[in-house]
């Protein structure tokens, strides 16, 4: 688990202050390798590469979390919208939002800041921060 002083300014802005990275800027957006997407703060597993899809929205998108407890869901009424915020189920770090316009089988689109995650490449074992 990283302490606040170990996070980059951008990670603090996104993960702790519930910010949003600029679309189409995330390092993990185009990542297509097999592996596991983890929380950048506590490294708990969040999503599997098999559930990642190209949504065109500019942020890494998944149709399913890796487990029921991996992600926490909160009503978000900020910016005059009704959305569902998603946070790491383990450390409460902000991840993004989940929408009901995703593909089958779930119909969900977990829209996640790349900065909120690190990717563990199954083949190389390399850990890439988003």
The one catalytic residue among 15, 57, 111, 118: 111
88 appears as a binding residue in the annotation: yes
Using the rule CB under 5 A, is 118 a contact of Zn ion? Answer: no
Question: Cα dist. 116→28, 93, 103, 112 in Å?
Answer: 10, 8, 23, 7
Whether residue 57 lies in the annotated active site: no
Q: How far is the CB of 123 from Zn ion (least distance, A)?
A: 24
CA 4, CA 76: separation in Å to the nearest integer?
A: 24
Residue 91 marked as a ligand binder: yes
52 binds Zn ion (CB under 5 A): no
| Total interface residues for Zn ion by CB under 5 A | 7
Task: Extract the tokens encoding 79.
Answer: 């910016």
């Amino acid at each position: 688990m990283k302490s606040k002083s170990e996070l980059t300014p951008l990670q603090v802005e996104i993960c702790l202050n519930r910010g949003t990275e600029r679309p189409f800027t995330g390092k993990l957006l185009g990542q297509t390798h097999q592996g596991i997407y983890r929380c950048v703060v506590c490294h708990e597993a969040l999503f599997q590469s098999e559930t990642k899809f190209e949504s065109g929205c500019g942020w890494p998108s998944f149709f399913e979390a890796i487990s029921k407890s991996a992600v926490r869901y909160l009503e978000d009424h900020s910016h005059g919208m009704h959305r569902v915020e998603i946070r790491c189920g383990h450390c409460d770090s902000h991840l993004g939002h989940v929408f009901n316009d995703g593909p089958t089988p779930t119909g969900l689109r977990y829209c996640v800041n790349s900065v909120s995650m690190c990717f563990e490449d199954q083949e190389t074992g390399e850990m890439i921060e988003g």
